[in-house]
Structure 1
């Protein structure tokens, strides 16, 4: 088995991966925020050079981890590989994030590199089924979780977000490009008469989403925002959502009275 490379975005997951695999090569792309030290920096416009570098350092497996935004491409900086691939890239850029991610994976695989899912490298980070921490959700909370999944399933073809908030069957917010925090901030400003009971934040992957590079995740900041929004808890798709910084996340949820529950049906 060859060496592992971690292509890092922002957040706690790349850090957790680098700690679990200290011999991994740490790679970042220009313009992508990250929280790692001792990384090798590359530009998206120079993918050919990145591939050459990975192979020269014995890399055969690649894991994408952390939040990544669409790169701002400079056509004048394209290396020969990216110039040749440009028509495929430009077509993918005109579609949703899922299509762009699939193309990027394909490009890596065409170079003989195996894509490793981050959640398989740190399986203990995946949400388990049932109550994970906090108070036991009531029947309404669980019904809202299923209603949230129904909403996300209907929205999946539109390639929007991975989360929503439901209270008494009513949708209070849908995650879009702005992300989870923006949605929860919006929900926190919802007038009380529009949700007479505490709602549930539902997090699940989109239908057909490639979980090797884009598995949904929550962490301490999510828990804090859920509490600030006055919600009862968080319902996660069991086995298909990551809990990052697990000890701190679960401890914070318990201290704030926020349940985290893994739902198998989601």
Structure 2
């Protein structure tokens, strides 16, 4: 049965990491509810595969979000081709290696921050002016429960996601008079391709921390993101939405 909800009629969304996982499933939701999307992803082949499934109206750009010049150009090109940017969903990210702080590779620490923090900052920074121009916007930054609680042997990831929460709260307050809301979600471990980056023992540890004793699903995250990114979520900004199977304690 076709989806008859049209929450996104006339709205255009940019989704980073949009060619797979949480980003792609959210793109499906937005398209099914009448919106159009631009997929920003580092994997050009996956972008084309996603576009073929989502429809000809889907725009795709292969870029590295850790490069500010690429992000600035992507924002400019997307706004020009689509006419506007109403929604930004930042789901691109990496976990980095599992290692103790004393052993953590410095180059990998920098890479995690380049993508998870700097890349997300660039996307927020360069998209916001287009939202301000139109007096409307919804930004959803994907953080993690690790940013609230800290996971052992995952200091770079935990610290980077804590930074995402802080940036979200700050930007949300800055834009309260511009018709733009900025919120974050803090999922526990979700069953996505990113799990392939983790060691089995670390996956087992993460599962043991979730009271529901299961990982989240991309459908559950896409459902929450879809509401936060809609006009319905109009009186909440600078907020952090827990989706952790009962793990979060605050």
Q: TM-score w.r.t. structure 2 length?
A: 0.44
The TM-score normalised by the length of structure 1 is 0.42
- Whose strand fraction is larger, Structure 1's or Structure 2's? 1
Rg larger for: 1
